[in-house]
Structure 1
Amino acid sequence: MAFDVSAVVGPQGWVTSEELLIRVSPRTVGSWVAAGKLVRLRPGVLALPSAAQQWRTRLAAALEGREAVASHGTALALWGLAAHPSGPVHVSVGTSMSARGSAGMVVHRAPAIWAERRRVDGLAVTSVERSVVDSWPRPAGLDRTAVRAAAITAVRDRHCSPRDLLTELARRPRLGDRTELSRLATLLADGCRSELEIWGCLQVLRAPGMPPFVQQRRVTVAGRTFVLDAGYDDVLLAVEMDGAAWHGSRTQREADIARDALLATIGWQTLRFGYARMTRSPDACRREILAARQARLRLFAADRVR
């Protein structure tokens, strides 16, 4: 009797040997493996060749029947914070368990890994903050820029807080390059929500000679609340840093104009700096902010005299 391999394996594209042997004989399984119709993902787990190329399939197979969680770059991908890199999936197990992996799977040993598990799409995974910290010193196929972006997105989209990142980091005193990650988490705690805002904060707003400002300043007008990238309360001056990807669209530009006009009705002036200008000409940006602030100081002083 001829069997359809795909139908026997099922819609997931992978199956345990135990389940498969209920459906077909050991001889049939052996012939399918020999013919390349099935591949072994790990001892006791087989998959269709097409499914074995998909990282989610390899991950589900790696987690099957064991106290293991997706971790490192694989966890970031499962959380939707990074693209999964080519190569093996990464999972973590407890310190008392074997770290034996396979060609398509890397196994890490870590304390308290199972007790702290989360779930995404039914799969066990490390917390977002642990996923970021685990990936930081050895990105496992991701470059450092991708891990930074994952951390920023995680905080911006409220998957975790800067405090969560700092707490997880405190548990890892020997983490490689921990100073850089601590600095990033601190900037996120201050209110930065993009690489442009981090650059602008460090190179422009906090540069020597620049006046103090309120980061992520909330302003309510006409029943609507806006969050300014930076606000100089003494002169009602707002500074906005516009990323090319978001603020480059016509719809968003029109929304920015309407927002600035509404803020102007209660006295706020808005300065906007695009990505190219902020990163290429920080000196000019600082001079413009200082000039606008001085002009506003004179204006406010004149109003008080009247």
Structure 2
Amino acid sequence: MSALRRYGLRNLPAIDDVHLLVPAERGITSTGFVHVERTRRLPAPRIRSGVPTAPVPRAVIDAARRAPDLDAAVAMMAEAVRDRHCLPSALAVEIEERSHIDERLRWAMMPILGGAHSVAEADAWNLWARSGLPEFQWNVRVFDAAGRFVAKPDGWCDEVALAWEIDSRGYHSEGDHFRATLARNARYTAAGVVVLQTLPSRLRSEPDEVLAELKAAFESARRRPRPDVRLR
């Protein structure tokens, strides 16, 4: 985790141990808060604040392996990609080059490769994957016929111009965030876009109900003429 803090990542578990990579032939062992891992895949270090540090993809996957739960691992991978510390493909390569890794981590990486930028969006991606609906894209920018920005939906079905927003009550219901959400929804309406808003908690507590709502929203969007909106 200490390497990721040096790169500026914030969404990290409260683990204070230092994870130290050393060549496989070295006889150094762990002690105290220092966890030593001998490896035959020692990466070329990046210097951060004068300290040799593993590159972001290696640091993320090493931290994800030691995360307290899968949500924490997804959160780290999503933040690294969302804030452009690394490409999702670099994380995938780092996972695939390991001979021994928890298969759940490979599964957890799939929504990130698909474009999800958070744990909630990963939940939405997994629900969409069960839906049988046409392709959804994630975090793309939508513009109207005049080239005006409409929104950057969490999920987007371009076939029928359907937006899916995973809107948390805490973030979207207060102050400037509330006003921004109302303005976003007004732009959707003006552009003729059908939008479904879902609370993140319902993706796990009521997945079947959310799936039914998503399919109903898709059918509603499919029945009307597709508006002249496009991705850029």
For normalisation by structure 2, the TM-score amounts to 0.81
Question: Per the alignment, do residues 244 and 158 of structure 1 end up closer, same or farther by CA in structure 2, a change over 3 Å counting?
Answer: farther
Q: 1:85 aligns with which of 15, 22, 41?
A: 15
Aligned with residue 211 of structure 1, among 130, 133, 137: 133
Q: How many residues of Structure 1 are paired with residues of Structure 2 in the alignment?
A: 220
Structure 1, unmatched stretches of 5+, are 1-72, 302-306
Secondary structure of 1:231's partner? strand
Equivalent-residue separation in structure 1 for 2:29 and 2:218 (angstroms):
62
Q: Distance in 1 between matches of 2:189 and 2:166?
A: 18
Q: Pairwise CA RMSD of aligned residues?
A: 2.5
Instruction: Tell me the SS of whatever aligns to 1:271.
Output: strand
Sort the Cα spacing of 1:95 and 1:297 in 2 relative to 1 into closer, same or farther, 3 A.
closer
Report the CA distance shift for 1:98/1:74 in structure 2 as closer, same or farther (over 3 A). Answer: farther
Mark the CA change 1:238 to 1:91 in structure 2 (over 3 Å): closer, same or farther: same
Q: Give the structure 2 partner of residue 189 of structure 1.
A: 113
* 1:196-231 superposed Cα distances (whole Å, 9 cap, x missing partner): 11112222x2224x4213212431245336322222
Unmatched runs of 5 consecutive residues or more in structure 2: 227-232
- 2:54 aligns to what? 126
Q: In structure 1, what is the equivalent of residue 98 of structure 2?
A: 172
One-letter amino acid of the counterpart of residue 230, structure 1: G
SS at match of 1:206: helix
User: Contact between 1:241 and 1:274, CA under 8 Å: does it hold in 2?
Assistant: yes
For 2:218 and 2:133, the matched residues in 1 are separated by: 9
Quote the Cα distance in structure 2 between the aligned partners of 1:246 and 1:169: 33
Structure 2 Cα separation of the partners of residues 250 and 103 of structure 1? 46
- How many Å apart are 1:287 and its aligned residue? 2.3
The separation in 2 between residues aligned to 1:296 and 1:102, in whole angstroms, is: 59
SS in 2 for 1:93: strand
User: Where does residue 83 of structure 2 map in the other structure?
Assistant: 157
| Amino acid across the alignment from 2:104 | E
Q: TM-score, normalised by structure 1?
A: 0.63
Report 1:227-246 matches (<5 A): 227-246=152-171
1:138-159 Cα offsets, whole Å, 9 max, x none, are: x1xx413433321121111111
Shift of 1:234: 3.4
Identity of aligned residues (%): 26
Cα distance in 1 for residues equivalent to 2:217 and 2:37: 54
Of structures 1 and 2, the one with the larger relative CO (CA 8 A, separation 6+) is: 2
Query: How far did residue 84 of structure 1 move?
Result: 4.9
